[in-house]
Structure 1
């Protein structure tokens, strides 16, 4: 918090300020985090632990709630919508809302940090990382046409966890839990999301989508982190993201 802010600033404002302090000098992939970054990141995750749907003026939606269709030629409303809160060169912050049964497909965050906090409902998050060294793996590459071989990525399934508003944030870094899939469980859900720096295709931070080609169980139940093969794919046809207004407190940076 900036000197003189007192306790009057909304928690959303305080999170945005802390995100700016944290990510204006964040480590890149492969770099060791500084003490200052770790301290600021800890403060940020603590603030994210505290935030609730009411702080963003979000009203939890019911399974039969539906947004208006985006246009006369659209037969369905988007399965996922996004509320933009703020964005700087160092981070973006907003809220994703998933309909009941919706998923954000497996995707990556190249060179990026992230903090995700559920506002209501429940999500299942499956986290993966790419294994850069292709030698010495436990699984052979699955048979694919030669034209698709370049799209293969040897990876590891780090974890699968379920999160509600009572849980702390899910955190990712350029080196850890950088790919993930997010599924709405047992009804609609919403989560606050910080990405640092924001996606920027012109700066090498485009979003790529993947499909799991090998069964993680093939490694055997005794292996904690399951090695898998992922194939890069186009954005799935059944996934698209619409936009809607953010109803919460204004953020000023």
Structure 2
């Protein structure tokens, strides 16, 4: 009897110690320090529509982007997309993915296959940091010339507007970050991929048709094509100027969006 009681008590004690299954928490992917610094710097740099980052903030953000590596965004040159032996399509489409976007700024990666093009377009009231992560790319960019000069050099009612060439060069990753401002730095630019490329764009504020920041596209013409002999100073450097004609959205400007699969960023996440 005593043994039976002891066994019974032991069973009751064991039953009390029995615990339910614990829910295993899903591991949160670690954010690389460079990406963490980039996100925090963007929150400090971009103050919203109608503002331009201070020189100090531009320098800080540029330095962070200069140290950013493809691996920090989950990319590698070993991925099949960046294999130069992949067949080239006749009409290669550009793909993009959005890392993060809010009212003040956006972080996007654009993937251009070889021969892929992002046509000449503008960034109204925006400051843009572009970082070539992988590949080799030709970049052409313009800034508008004073409207008064345009009127002096063009015919009345002309739809052409004079712009000064800021860049017409080939860039190979890794290279320094380029910065364009609402009115300077090459606000109107075009990307042409020589090899498969990945480009990170940090834009503040983002495009918004409702807020008057819609994207416009252009076709550029040689300055001499429409020059009538006026403007001697401009004519002397005619290779540094061009006439831009606003056009409808080109067919090759259409892109395919894909889900971002790199380290995640959310506004409420404690980085």
TM-score by length of 2: 0.73
Post-superposition shift, 1:132? 3.3
Q: 1:216 to 1:125 in 2, by over 3 A?
A: farther
Asked if the contact 1:85/1:95 (under 8 Å) is kept, the reply is yes
Post-superposition shift, 1:26? 7.7
Q: 1:180 aligns with which of 189, 192, 210?
A: 189
Q: 1:82 aligns with which of 64, 78, 96?
A: 96
Post-superposition shift, 1:214? 2.2
Q: 1:242 to 1:137 in 2, by over 3 A?
A: same
Judge which range, 54-63 or 199-208, deviates more: 54-63
Matched residue pairs, number? 226
Q: 1:39 aligns with which of 19, 37, 56?
A: 56
Residue 197 of structure 1 corresponds to: 205
1:13 aligned to 2:27? Answer: no
Q: How does 1:165-244 map to 2 (within 5 A)?
A: 165-176=173-184, 177-185=186-194, 187-215=195-223, 223=237, 226-244=240-258
Distance in 2, Cα, partners of 1:193 & 1:251 = 16
Asked if the contact 1:92/1:195 (under 8 Å) is kept, the reply is yes
More helix by share: 2
Q: 1:88 to 1:183 in 2, by over 3 A?
A: same
SS in structure 2 at match of 1:238: helix
SS in structure 1 at match of 2:263: coil
Distance in 1, Cα, partners of 2:117 & 2:148 = 29
Structure 2: stretches of 5+ with no match in the other structure: 1-29, 228-233
Q: Deviations over 1:7-52 (max 9, x none)?
A: 97532122111011001168647xxx6xxx2212211000000111
Q: CA RMSD in A?
A: 3.0
Post-superposition shift, 1:215? 4.5
Q: How does 1:64-143 map to 2 (within 5 A)?
A: 65=86, 79-135=93-149, 139-141=153-155
Distance in 1, Cα, partners of 2:36 & 2:66 = 15
1:161 aligned to 2:169? Answer: yes
| Larger Rg belongs to | 2
Distance in 1, Cα, partners of 2:57 & 2:95 = 29
Distance in 2, Cα, partners of 1:62 & 1:9 = 25
Asked if the contact 2:150/2:162 (under 8 Å) is kept, the reply is no
Residue 72 of structure 1 corresponds to: none
Distance in 1, Cα, partners of 2:175 & 2:238 = 22
1:247 aligned to 2:268? Answer: no
Asked if the contact 1:81/1:243 (under 8 Å) is kept, the reply is yes
Q: 1:241 to 1:153 in 2, by over 3 A?
A: same
Distance in 2, Cα, partners of 1:192 & 1:137 = 37
Residue 22 of structure 2 corresponds to: none
Asked if the contact 1:213/1:230 (under 8 Å) is kept, the reply is yes
Asked if the contact 1:134/1:154 (under 8 Å) is kept, the reply is no
Asked if the contact 1:120/1:190 (under 8 Å) is kept, the reply is yes
